[in-house]
Copies of this chain bind each other. A is one copy, B any other.
Amino acid sequence: MRDDVGPNKRRGTLIAIGGAEEKSRDPKILAEFVQICGGPDAKIAIIPTASRLSDTGTRYEKTFKDLGAAKAKSLPYEHRRDCKKEEWLKVLEACTGVFLTGGNQLRLSTTLGGTIVAKTLRRRHQQEGLHVAGTSAGAAILSEHMIAFGDEGSTPRADMVTLAPGLGLTSRLIIDQHFRQRDRLGRLLTALAYNPAAFGIGLDEDTAAFIGPDDVLEVHGSGALTIVDPKDVEYTSMDSSHRDDPVCVIGLRLHVLTERCTFDLSTREARLPVTTSNAS
């Protein structure tokens, strides 16, 4: 794996989950996350801020402990002033992985945005190998440009999506979730049409992108991951489209990837799972 974040610094793995991941019967995605965080040595901090339910954090504590993590601790940040709590910052400094639950991504961004908590996550992820996972709203907020909310539908329209600054752990992706279940291709394309720079990532439920420090993304889970690559976009009409107008976009590349397929964010190549069998 490449180490391109400076001498003696290493980036952690970024895990974006499309929501509704399997938690009890066969929780493959969460088990893989615990494994990456150190397995029996994993120390996981849970940030349930996006959720309205009071037991979201404690339920994930139990799930991660059941999966063999050494520690799993919920940090229920509710107000911006909570971000100064020394005890919780110590947990964030000592953990090997952070998990952001689902809910409303604007709860996350308005509560954590610009605070020492956001800065700590970014620094430790980019320089100290902290692994950061988020599901649903927690996935949306991982990137620099976050889809705050939007409309459903397959066709991009000018006013279909509202972007907001996210945690900025990556600026190469715009992440959308519940993708198949809530028909979100249009809003993802709209987000890309503003500025065809980032990859668009559409995550189905119970499906995750594991993005290593080598910039290779691997798909895990029961659904599909849709990658929209705007590199060869020749034109978008976003600058001249009026509210509710359909937006013209010429030259997108699209991949629909399933379990164990990979996509290299540097070379822009999609690959099938490596098989270990010798059978032809």
Residues B154 and A185 in contact, CB atoms below 8 Å apart: yes
For the complex, what is the distance from the CA of A246 to the CA of B258, rounded to whole Å?
7
Q: Mark A197-225, 1 if CB is under 8 A from B, else 0.
A: 00000101000000000000000001110
Copy number in the complex reads: 2
Give chain B nearest CB distance to A97 CB in angstroms: 27
CB-CB under 8 A from A245, the residues of chain B are: 258
Give chain B nearest CB distance to A81 CB in angstroms: 40
CB-CB under 8 A from A156, the residues of chain B are: 224, 256
Residues B251 and A253 in contact, CB atoms below 8 Å apart: yes
Residues B204 and A180 in contact, CB atoms below 8 Å apart: no
Residues B250 and A252 in contact, CB atoms below 8 Å apart: no
Residue positions of A touching B, CB distance < 8 A: 152-156, 179-181, 183-186, 189, 202, 204, 222-224, 226, 228, 234-235, 237, 245-258, 261, 270, 272
User: Can you name 9 extra interface pairs (CB under 8 A) apart from A154-B185, A185-B185?
Assistant: A154-B180, A154-B226, A155-B179, A156-B224, A180-B246, A204-B246, A234-B270, A250-B257, A251-B253
